């Protein structure tokens, strides 16, 4: 199915074409017509299925083609992290370039200049605002946010927001919104707490389910059963021998990220680290360098498991076994995007074996476990039914916005979250 089949605005189709999109993904085929028809949506889709465009395209079309209040925020997209807010804002900016749509990303961690830019947009009105809950609450508490004309609410990565403790903030934000609106909820998983939230805010929603908790078959999954002290020498060896353009290494703790990044740099591998101890400008600079292939290895905490959208990542390494099966799916889903292939390695220490067995049960396959190369010494046997070693943990289940008054053929969008003059054209931001 092509994007022409949806009957979208001509300017929007021009932006889609400029980004190189050709055919709709499965989630886009199912979701876009329902949103255009005015339905509330609850959609479950794994990472990399194209869900961002699935809600942005129909919202942009409706705002371009239908009357709306120009002195109010018209669509509000709530997301769990700054990275995702910036990513969606950049995606919006590129897709809507040949339309009159305005938008802004509202997120914490910036300076006073950023806060002032957010305040200006929120008090004067914007077509689409992408925000993190805490930052929006801060603006709402000051009383100037114009929401009286809001028509669309999107909750993206809703399960992650609840996991991060944003349930109360979400309900507080919703209490400021007009009762009559279209609601779109996207979540990679559908646990009971998501169903409960959906029942509170959605009206007779249409439900879409796309490949829940199943990694794409094209990902080559392998797992190495190792002792903890074997992880660093093994990952150095794999990063030297495995062909890849870009690689992401996930660690469960930022202390592990720092230690591993230091070791990889000392081994003269082109690696950088990203975690919550870095200031927002530092994190954005590292992500930009990674996106532009100036950095080839990114060592990260799970803050990136859903917040990065780069089609050329072809290697993911789980330095630690993720906390649960859903995190595993989201981590390895960073690779094999845009019809490409990818490889995912996982390191399993003795205390992580039961946890990984639970992940295999969730995804419905037994991951191949090649032997650890002999030069790294004897490795432990894989026996997930054995009692974990004593002391092992218990296991369980851009700045500013862009101007809606720009003219087609004028300033071109650049690579950052704010539109600047003199750039070369709408960036390709991927399918997320």
Statement: residue 79 has pLDDT above 60 = yes
Q: What is the pLDDT of residue 46?
A: 60
Q: How many angstroms separate the CA atoms of 398 and 203, rounded?
A: 33
Residue (of 130, 120, 32) closest to 81 by Cα position? 130
Domain boundaries, the chain: 3-212+398-402, 219-376
Predicted confidence band of residue 417 (pLDDT cuts 50, 70, 90): very low
Q: How many angstroms separate the CA atoms of 8 and 58, rounded?
A: 8
User: For residue range 146-164, what is the model confidence (pLDDT) as tens digits?
Assistant: 999 999 999 999 988 998 8
Statement: residue 22 has pLDDT above 70 = yes
Predicted confidence band of residue 207 (pLDDT cuts 50, 70, 90): very high
Mean pLDDT across the stretch 314-327?
A: 85
According to CATH, the topology of domain 219-376 is: Rossmann fold (3.40.50)
Q: What is the mean pLDDT of the chain?
A: 84
58 contacts 111 by C-beta, under 8 angstroms: no
- Cα 355 to chain centroid, rounded: 24
Q: What is the pLDDT of residue 177?
A: 97
Decide which of 29 and 325 is more confident: 29
Q: What is the pLDDT of residue 390?
A: 52
Statement: residue 393 has pLDDT above 80 = no
Alpha helices in 312-429 (DSSP H): 325-332, 353-363
Q: What is the pLDDT of residue 304?
A: 58
Statement: residue 411 has pLDDT above 50 = no
Q: Residues, the chain, total?
A: 432
Torsion angle defined by CA atoms of residues 216, 248, 358 and 163, in that order, rounded to the nearest 10 degrees = -100
Q: What percent of the chain has a predicted confidence (pLDDT) above 90?
A: 59
User: For residue range 239-287, what is the model confidence (pLDDT) as tens digits?
Assistant: 999 999 999 999 988 899 999 999 999 999 999 998 878 887 888 899 8
Predicted confidence band of residue 420 (pLDDT cuts 50, 70, 90): very low
How do beta strands 41-45 and 206-210 pair?
parallel
Bridge partner residues of 130 (DSSP) = 77, 105
Decide which of 125 and 329 is more confident: 125
Q: What is the pLDDT of residue 418?
A: 34
Buried b / exposed e over 92-110, threshold 16 CB at 10 Å, is bbbbbbbbbbbbbbbbbeb
Least confident of 20-34, 70-84, 112-126, 248-262: 20-34
Q: How many angstroms separate the CA atoms of 401 and 419, rounded?
A: 7
Least confident of 19-28, 149-158, 202-211, 371-380: 19-28
Alpha carbon separation from 120 to 115, 355, 432 (Å, rounded): 9, 48, 29
User: For residue range 114-146, what is the model confidence (pLDDT) as tens digits?
Assistant: 899 999 999 999 999 999 999 999 999 999 999
- SS3 readout for 401-418: EECCCCCCCCCCCCCCCC
How many helices (DSSP H) and strands (DSSP E) are in the chain?
Answer: 14, 14
**Measured distance between the N- and C-terminal CA atoms of the chain, rounded to whole angstroms:** 18
pTM over 0.75: no
What CATH superfamily is the domain 3-212+398-402?
P-loop containing nucleotide triphosphate hydrolases (3.40.50.300)
Which token pair is 25? 């993904």
Mean pLDDT across the stretch 401-416?
A: 42
Torsion angle defined by CA atoms of residues 281, 285, 286 and 288, in that order, rounded to the nearest 10 degrees = 140
219-376 matches 3-212+398-402 in CATH topology: yes
Q: What is the pLDDT of residue 312?
A: 82
| Backbone dihedral angles phi then psi of residue 278, each to the nearest 5 degrees | -80, 145
Contacts of 284 (CB under 8 A, 6+ apart): 86, 398, 416
Predicted confidence band of residue 92 (pLDDT cuts 50, 70, 90): very high
Least confident of 4-13, 73-82, 181-190, 296-305: 296-305
Mean pLDDT across the stretch 423-431?
A: 39
């Amino acid at each position: 199915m092509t994007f022409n089949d949806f009957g979208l605005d001509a300017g929007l189709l021009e932006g889609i074409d400029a980004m190189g999109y050709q055919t709709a993904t499965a989630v886009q085929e199912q979701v876009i017509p329902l949103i255009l028809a005015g339905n509330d949506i609850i959609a479950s889709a794994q990472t990399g299925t194209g869900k961002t465009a699935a809600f942005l395209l129909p919202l942009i079309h409706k705002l371009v083609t239908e009357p709306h209040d120009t002195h109010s925020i018209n669509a509000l997209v709530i997301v769990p992290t700054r990275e995702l807010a910036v990513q969606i804002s950049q995606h919006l900016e590129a897709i809507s370039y040949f339309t009159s749509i305005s938008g802004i990303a509202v997120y914490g961690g910036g300076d006073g200049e950023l806060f002032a830019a957010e305040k200006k947009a929120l008090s004067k009105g914007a077509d689409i605002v992408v925000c993190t809950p805490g930052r929006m609450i801060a603006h709402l508490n000051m009383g100037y946010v114009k929401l009286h004309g809001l028509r669309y609410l999107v909750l993206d990565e809703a399960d992650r927001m609840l996991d991060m403790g944003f349930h109360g903030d979400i309900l507080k934000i919703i209490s400021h919104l007009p009762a009559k609106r279209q609601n779109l909820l996207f979540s990679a998983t559908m646990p009971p707490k998501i169903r409960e939230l959906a029942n509170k805010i959605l009206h007779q929603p249409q439900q879409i389910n796309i490949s829940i908790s199943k990694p794409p078959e094209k990902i080559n999954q392998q797992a190495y059963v190792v002792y903890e002290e074997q992880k660093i020498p093994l990952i150095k060896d794999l990063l030297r021998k495995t062909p890849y353009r870009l690689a992401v290494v996930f660690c469960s703790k930022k202390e592990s990220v720092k230690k591993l990044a230091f070791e990889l740099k000392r081994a003269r591998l082109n690696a950088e680290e990203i975690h919550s101890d870095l200031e927002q400008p530092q994190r954005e600079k590292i992500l930009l360098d990674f996106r532009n292939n100036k950095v080839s290895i990114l060592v990260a905490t799970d803050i990136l498991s859903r917040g990065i959208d780069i089609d050329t990542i072809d290697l993911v390494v789980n330095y630690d076994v993720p906390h649960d099966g859903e995190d595993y799916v989201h981590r390895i889903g960073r690779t094999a995007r845009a019809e490409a292939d990818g490889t995912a390695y996982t390191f399993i220490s003795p205390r992580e074996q039961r946890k990984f067995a639970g992940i295999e049960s969730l995804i419905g396959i037994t991951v191949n476990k090649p032997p650890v190369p002999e030069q790294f010494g004897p490795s432990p046997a894989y026996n997930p039914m054995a009692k974990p070693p004593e002391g092992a943990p218990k296991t369980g289940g851009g700045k500013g916005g862009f101007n809606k008054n720009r003219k087609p053929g004028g300033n071109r969008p650049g690579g950052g979250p704010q539109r600047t003059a003199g750039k070369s054209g709408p960036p390709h931001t991927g399918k997320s």
